[in-house]
Amino acid sequence: MNTLPPQAYFQQLNAYLQWQTQKLQELEAKVGQLQQEIDELKKQRTVNVEKIEYKFDQLKIEKLDGTLHIGISPEIGKSIDDFTVNGSDVQTTMVQTDARSSIRREIDRFLEEDGRASIKEWEQNHRIALGEGYADFMIEDIKGQMDKRIDHYLRTVQDDPSSGRLKADIIVDKIKTDIITAIEQHMGQKKSKGDGSA
């Protein structure tokens, strides 16, 4: 004899299938919502920071060389004044090293104070906001280029006896002008590309 299960079993089975169907529909809705959120995130504009190059009047350095001698000992019969390093006397080389250090300290101070202020002022005047992190990035990038720029000016600039200005002061002024020009040009490019619009 073939007996069928009681009616309560079919009701319980039906209820279980309905519950599974409801859960499946909820999961499908959640997957659809997550897919929509992923699509929206993909469409959002991403921030891409490209390499920043400051063109200081398109400077071209053709030759950058030098030798550092540590612990040189004079040969018998020669004084330290008789030594040369790559054709330059040691005394001149030491003076240039002192001048380079002095110029670098002044430029670093200028970048930290006036450079940052110049970036913020430019952002305010032109209503763009690049953020503090971007200003830090710019300052560090400029600092990384300063040694070559200082060396260039040490080779090309002379004291100005007519005004009484020393070579180091002239170089500091030139580099400050170069920095402000580079910042303004870079910020102008950022504005024209529409980056950082407030």
Q: Are residues 1 and 97 in the same domain?
A: no
The predicted pLDDT at position 160 comes to 72
Could you say which residues of the chain have pLDDT below 50? 64, 68-83, 85, 89-92, 197-198
**How many angstroms from the chain centroid is the CA of residue 82?**
44
Residue 153 lies in a domain: yes
Mark 51-80 as b/e (b = at least 16 C-beta within 10 Å): eeebebeeeeeeeeeeeeeeeeeeeeeeee
Residue 50 lies in a domain: no
Residue 181 lies in a domain: yes
Residue 113 lies in a domain: yes
The predicted pLDDT at position 65 comes to 58
The predicted pLDDT at position 56 comes to 57
Q: Are residues 180 and 98 in the same domain?
A: yes
The predicted pLDDT at position 57 comes to 59
Q: Are residues 163 and 102 in the same domain?
A: yes
Domain count along the chain: 2
Decide: helix, strand or coil at residue 76: coil
The predicted pLDDT at position 28 comes to 95
Q: Are residues 95 and 188 in the same domain?
A: yes
The predicted pLDDT at position 27 comes to 94
The predicted pLDDT at position 167 comes to 82
Kindly report the pTM of this predicted structure: 0.48
The predicted pLDDT at position 20 comes to 94
The predicted pLDDT at position 138 comes to 83
Residue indicated by tokens 């959120």: 37
Decide: helix, strand or coil at residue 34: helix
Q: Are residues 90 and 33 in the same domain?
A: no
Domain holding 173, by residue range, is 85-193
